[in-house]
Structure 1
Amino acid sequence: MTATSVSESVQATETKQTPLPKWQLLIVFLVQLAEPITATVIFPFAPEFIRRTGITGGDETKTGYYAGFIESAFFIAESLSVFYWGRLSDRFGRKPILLLGPLGLTFAMLGFGMSTNFWSLVLFRCAQGVFNGNIGVSKTVMAELTDSTNIGEAFALMPIVWGAGVTLGPVMGGLLVHPADTWPNTFGRIALFRDHPYFLPCAVAGLFSFAICLLTLVVLQETHPATIARKKSKCSRPTQETCLIANNTGADYGSTNTAAVASDDAVSDSIPSQPPSMREVLGTQFLRVLMNYTFISFVETAYDALMPLMYSTSIPVGGLGFSPFQIGQILSVWGLTNAIVQCLFTGRLLRAFGARRMFIISLGFMFVAMLAFSFESYFARLAGRVDGRVITLLLIQLTCNLMTFVAFASIHVLIVQSATSRAALGSTNGVTQMAGSGIRSLAPYFASSMFSISLESQIAGGFLVYIIILVLCLFSLWLSFKIPKRFKSADT
């Protein structure tokens, strides 16, 4: 794709939109679906699981420290691996690297569910982080399957995938936890489920990832230009007839349409076989977008860490006293609503207002969602129960949080637009994911620890953690105005 000066609006006004390669994108989205499912399946029962290991010594207020440690370990592992997944995909192709993600997640989830002590939970959560690290490769595949006329439409679908994942994950976690107690006549007769009450939801999530791995192996086509060119170049060496046969097997998925063998050598020569250097990857406009991505990642991850903690903590201590089943219900209903909303409105909002403007607007809604925590805690303690005021605040909070996914759809479009070149997309997404995962490794432990400190010491009435995150939300909002309104040409 030859990029011209890119305006705020995602919509191409004079160029006819290229149809999306639906089947190939569907496979990529299924790979992406494995991440939110495996990440969120533990949310309803993670605090209870941690307490069950005995690491807290029976002190409920200390749960936040250890919950934050587990989530931080996840993102540290992801941040240490994500850039190398991108570099490996630039060298060996997208498909083989992409396959390793869901395959590794299968074994990581099984190990997590079988854990009996805190440190084994940390180990397998780290493994999940490593294999989730290749999510950047899937975004690169999306960019290579699309062009300037339909990339916004494709990336607008990502929140729908995430919404589906955060719906299915908590449903699995909330409904399948403690199966021996829920279904004593079936699972209750199996010692495995009596001894490991958290294994079943983890196993279901793991097997789902394995099924996605098999489907990807069979259906997904390679998209890396250099890898495709090398294969075609090797194919054309024996005879032109052999190459013509190879080039015409399979469907045209809309990303590349090659009709002549003679053009293959030219394509091979024009595409670098080696991954671009870091100097080629980094640029001023990309760094500005990258800074925004890191800050929104911190705020969003802090919110995700605080939600199950605050919801599961007893009302007198400063939470809402919800059970794992109730938390799973809340998250699953919200996730389903989110998927519907994103499907109907995200693409239209991006086309109508542009990625930059929608990113800024979404941050404002995220501020309101974070603000709701403190008022929920205050009114719940005041009433001694979850009353109508708290329920109203929950509805406002969850509604505002829908815009989080619009924000991420917007920033992903901006990341692609700010890339220094198409050849650097793998490394660009690798750097982005590395930075996002790095900051996410700090957010859970910071937010969870501050949650525990705030409650233990009753600093600012127990609301200190919310005040700090709200200040960071405001800073993120200010930083979003530094994103360029127009990006310079990526390739000429």
Structure 2
Amino acid sequence: MSTIHDRNDSRTVQDETHDNHELHELPKPKRTPLPKFQLFIVFLIQFAEPVTATVIYPFVNQFVRDTGITRGDERKTGYYAGVIESAFFFAEALTVFQWGRASDRFGRRPILLLGPLGLSLAMLSFGLSNNFWTLVVSRCMQGVFNGNIGVSKSVMGEITDSTNIADAFAMMPLMWSFGSTIGPIVGGLLSQPAKTWPDLFGKIMFFHQYPYFLPCAVAALIACVSGIIASIGLKETLPSAVYQEKKRRAAAAASVTPDSTTGLLSGCNDPGYSSAADASLEADVSEEASEAPPPLKDLFVPRVLMTLLVHSFLAFVDMSSQVLQPLVYSTSVSLGGLGFDPYRIGAIMGTWGVINACVQLTFLGRIIRRFGARNVQKFAQLSYAIVIALYPVLSFFAKRAGEADGFVWAVIIIQLCFAMSNNAAYASIQILILESAPTRASLGATNGMAQAVGSVMRSIAPSIASSLFSISLEHQLAGGNMVFLILVGVALVGLRLAFLLPAKSTSRRG
């Protein structure tokens, strides 16, 4: 918790020197080393969440058909599979704020430990299901326990300060991307093992009766392992909980009668008595610990609402863009697409993903420190508008040549370069969300609200974007480009809102 004092002090110094026009006279603050082990545990929990969320994607449609709910009509598969996926986002949206509020009251650690445990049980339940509605209930459970991702972001905000927070959050989107890649691989390779590997699993009747249990069990194991490691090494970061633990230890130490073994100064090894700096930290933590979680109405202040609004536009435009990319790439050239086959689409997206990950790990933290989270967010919102606006350009060159020629590939490269701002967008908006929290006691609730807003936007964006794409082509609205015009407009509104974000960080000292 030494970073709490550092963060507030560094921001106070920056604000005061800026007001006195003396910033150039002060040395640049030294970067605090990242708490690597604590970040590793938080990232491990975050990694388990996308694995459990995406492991079902390769087999969920067949699983739905196997339950008999479609009664042999494969045209209904998409509808029922959509119900399962909507149940996940709906449950997450309903509970994510409550997890944040609970973490403000009971501590970050117990809430974070509940997540992997619940995900493990939900995945096992999903794999053992044999009817459609059990699948829906199990998927709802996954959404409920996936909802504590906002709590992990609160922990990241509490174990970092203004000098290293950008580096920590630069890695966060990559964990979701990595987990979202591993999940479908596990689901595809391990589903129906008795049929895929008859020599190994063919004689085990259990895998004939429950052909999708194995990938679910592996995902559950990943979540369980993350929970076990977290239970061993994750430290509490909520100021009030840390303060109560310090009081308990101090009381226990005071109850020990000094003797020839303990000595009169045996308590000097306690962190609270180690130095003047630690004493100052103790006072700082004590002050913050006195804050109770504020009522809900106290969160509805302009800086919080504006940040949440920007986040909602970001989530909607990002999900819409993710849906449009494979649609445009796979649609025939005559209809305005590029006519790519699945292999080529996968190669493009996979190559881009690897390059994007390397770029983000190398440069994103430095970029946010250099230009600030607000400016990075503005550029990211602009980049989304450019990415979407380039789809009609791709269509124009593809139709002119009748195929994907050099001009098309040049535009694709430009488009993918701007698309690399996606991780920067989420890293910067998360920093802005942390800074917008009215007090440290409201950090979990603020993160919970942001996660709820994002979940709602991500749940409705795919259907809206894909429907607009189909309608635009079917009725040739704006030459089939109406969907792009609408979404560019939405992205530009998000950009305008980003300019209304607070110009500089605000302290959260109540």
Q: Is the 8 A contact 1:315 1:377 kept in 2?
A: yes
Taking the aligned partners of 1:115 and 1:380, their CA distance within structure 2 comes to 46
Following TM superposition, by how much is the alpha carbon of 1:430 offset from its aligned partner in structure 2, in angstroms? 1.7
Q: Give the match for residue 21 of structure 2.
A: none
Unaligned runs of 5+ in 1: none
Assess if the C-alpha contact under 8 Å between 1:233 and 1:265 holds in 2. no
1:134 maps onto 2:148 in alignment: yes
| Structure of greater relative contact order (alpha carbons < 8 Å, 6+ residues apart) | 1
Kindly indicate whether residue 299 of structure 2 is the aligned counterpart of residue 281 of structure 1: yes
Structure 2: distance between partners of 1:390 and 1:475: 28
- Give 1:236 deviation, angstroms: 2.4
SS in 2 for 1:185: helix
User: Does residue 1:31 correspond to 2:45, yes or no?
Assistant: yes
Structure 2 counterpart of 1:231, from 227, 233, 245: 245
Tell me whether 1:123 sits opposite 2:111 in the alignment.
no
User: Which residue of 2 is the match for residue 360 of structure 1?
Assistant: 378
| Offset, 1:280 | 3.7
Label 1:89 to 1:468 Cα distance change in 2 as closer, same or farther (>3 A): same
In 2, Cα distance between equivalents of 1:71 and 1:422: 34
Aligned to 1:340: 358
**Correspondence for 2:422 among 404, 421, 430:** 404
* Cα distance in 1 between the residues matched to 2:299 and 2:246: 27
| Distance in 1 separating the partners of 2:349 and 2:448 | 29
- Pick closer, same or farther for the CA change 1:316–1:241 going to 2, 3 Å: farther
Q: 2:314 aligns with which of 288, 296, 302?
A: 296
Check the 8 A contact 1:302/1:443 in 2, yes or no: yes
Q: Is the 8 A contact 2:292 2:441 kept in 1?
A: no
Structure 1 position 346, deviation (Å): 0.8
| Cα distance change on mapping 1:126 and 1:386 into 2, 3 Å | farther
On the 8 A contact 1:140/1:425 being kept in 2, the answer is yes
> How far did residue 100 of structure 1 move?
1.2
Residues 375-405 of structure 1: CA deviation (Å, up to 9, x unaligned) = 7789999999989887777666555433211
In structure 2, distance between residues paired with 1:39 and 1:98:
17
Separation of aligned partners in 1, 2:469 and 2:132: 20
CA distance in structure 1 between the aligned counterparts of 2:276 and 2:234, rounded to whole angstroms: 16
Q: How many residue pairs get matched?
A: 480
> Where in structure 2 are there 5+ consecutive unaligned residues?
19-25, 257-265
> What corresponds to 1:420 in structure 2?
438
Equivalent residue number for residue 350 of structure 1: 368
Structure 1 residue 436 corresponds to structure 2 residue 454:
yes
Distance (whole Å) between structure 1 residues aligned to residue 340 and residue 77 of structure 2: 14
> Residue 156 of structure 1 aligns to a residue in which SS?
helix
Is the Cα–Cα contact under 8 Å of residues 180 and 194 in structure 1 kept in the other structure?
yes
Q: Distance in 2 between matches of 1:150 and 1:449?
A: 42
Q: Is the 8 A contact 2:338 2:404 kept in 1?
A: no
Deviation of 1:460 (Å)? 6.2
Equivalent residue letter for 1:475: V
1:202 aligns with: 216
Q: Does 1:484 align with 2:502?
A: yes
Contact 2:95/2:147 (<8 A) preserved? yes
After superposition, the C-alpha distances for 1:155-207 in whole angstroms (9 at most, x for unaligned) are: 22212322322332333344444544543432445455556554443332222
Q: Structure 1 residues 81, 265: closer, same or farther in 2, change over 3 A?
A: same
1:246-273 CA deviation, whole Å, 9 max, x = no partner? 9569xx9xxx99856x986884465226
Quote the Cα distance in structure 2 between the aligned partners of 1:228 and 1:58.
Answer: 57
8 Å contact from structure 2 (residues 103, 111) kept in 1 = yes
- Relative to structure 1, the CA distance from residue 308 to residue 45 in structure 2 (aligned partners, 3 Å threshold; closer, same or farther) is farther
Distance 1:162 1:201, change over 3 A: same
Give, in angstroms, the shift of residue 365 of structure 1. Answer: 2.8
Stretch moving more, 141-150 or 482-491: 482-491
Q: Counterpart of 2:163 in structure 1: which amino acid?
A: T
**CA–CA distance in structure 2, aligned partners of residues 459 and 85 of structure 1:** 44
Q: TM-score, normalization: structure 2?
A: 0.78
Identity of paired residues, percent? Answer: 47
TM-score normalised per structure 1: 0.81
SS state at 1:237 partner: helix
Aligned equivalents of 1:491, 1:193: Cα separation in 2: 56
Equivalent position to 2:125, from 94, 111, 118: 111
Offset, 1:122: 3.4
For 2:116, the equivalent position in structure 1 comes to 102
CA distance in 2, matches of 1:292, 1:42: 31
Deviates further, 460-469 or 439-448: 460-469
2:178 counterpart residue number: 164
Who is 2:465 aligned against?
A: 447
Q: Which has the larger radius of gyration?
A: 2
| RMSD of aligned alpha carbons | 4.2
Paired residues of 2:329 and 2:345 also in contact (CA < 8 A) = yes
Deviations 1:127-146 (A, max 9, x none): 22211111111111111111
1:147 aligned partner: 161
Query: Which digits, 9 at most, give the CA deviation of each residue in 1:94-134, with x for residues without a partner?
Result: 10000111221122233334455554443333222211111
Q: Indicate the SS of the match to 1:204.
A: helix
Check conservation: 1:174, 1:327, Cα contact below 8 A. no
Q: Which has the higher helix share?
A: 2
Structure-2 change in CA distance of 1:488 and 1:146 (3 Å): closer
Deviation at 1:23, TM superposition (A): 0.7
Q: How far apart are residue 364 of structure 1 and its match?
A: 2.9
- Aligned letter for 2:488? L
Match among 40, 46, 51 for residue 54 of structure 2: 40
Question: Could you tell me whether the CA contact under 8 Å between 2:92 and 2:145 is conserved in 1?
Answer: yes
Instruction: After superposition, give the CA deviation of every residue in 1:286-310 in whole Å (9 maximum; x if it has no partner).
Output: 2211110111111223334556677
Higher mean C-alpha deviation, range 205-214 or range 306-315: 306-315
Q: Distance in 2 between matches of 1:49 and 1:245?
A: 62
- Is the partner of 2:199 in helix, strand or coil? coil
Name the CA shift for 1:39/1:326 in 2 (closer, same or farther; >3 Å): farther
